[in-house]
Amino acid sequence: MKKLSQKVVKLLIKKRLKISFAESCTGGLLSSYITSISGSSKVFTVGLVTYSNEAKIRILKVPTRIIMKYGAVSHETCLFMVKNLNKVSKTNISLSITGVAGPKGGTKQKPVGLVYIGIKKGNKILVKKCFFRSKKRILIQRATVNQALKMILKII
């Protein structure tokens, strides 16, 4: 993923784009990969770890009713996260992540490995539903970061 991170940073610099993240189940891992690249300060402006529902509501202004109705791990919550992150950060590209990294916490409706990744560039917004079949937390987190980096490359 180091190479993927380097590619993302290099391309963002070349295109003079700024990026921001709101991470939940990855706990800052995506931000960590990006900031490990020299020159990332030219493009990376905000990295929030909105791990709790309270943080999603208070910092990212995800409506309580959305979390109550759909849950923190949902298309709807991920969409609000990315839209409101974009309002706060004022970056060209914003990306949000919410999911169940496990090994516990999964349900039949929302099993361990279910992750939503939202990305916004200009008026274009995409929320992707992913399912990673590992039972190991770090592997789900890494797979999520890998997928997020690929989504960034696609949207640039």
Q: What is the mean pLDDT of each run of 10 residues along the chain (156 residues)?
A: 96 98 98 98 98 98 98 98 97 98 93 98 97 95 98 97
Which two three-digit tokens encode residue 50? 């909105």
Q: Which domain holds residue 133?
A: 2-155
**Following DSSP, what letter does each residue of 90-113 receive, concatenated?**
--SEEEEEEE---SS---SSS-TT
Under a CB-based contact definition with an 8 Å cutoff, are residues 93 and 47 in contact?
A: no
pTM of the shown model: 0.97
Contacts of 81 (CB under 8 A, 6+ apart): 22, 24, 50, 56, 60, 62, 96, 98, 118
Q: What is the pLDDT of residue 119?
A: 98
**Ramachandran category for residue 61: left, alpha or beta (phi over 0 → left; psi -120 to 50 → alpha):** left
Q: What is the pLDDT of residue 143?
A: 98
Q: What is the pLDDT of residue 135?
A: 84
CATH number at residue 130: 3.90.950.20
Domain count for the chain: 1
**Per 3-state DSSP, what percentage of the chain is helix, strand, and coil (rounded to 5)?**
45, 20, 35
Contacts of 58 (CB under 8 A, 6+ apart): none
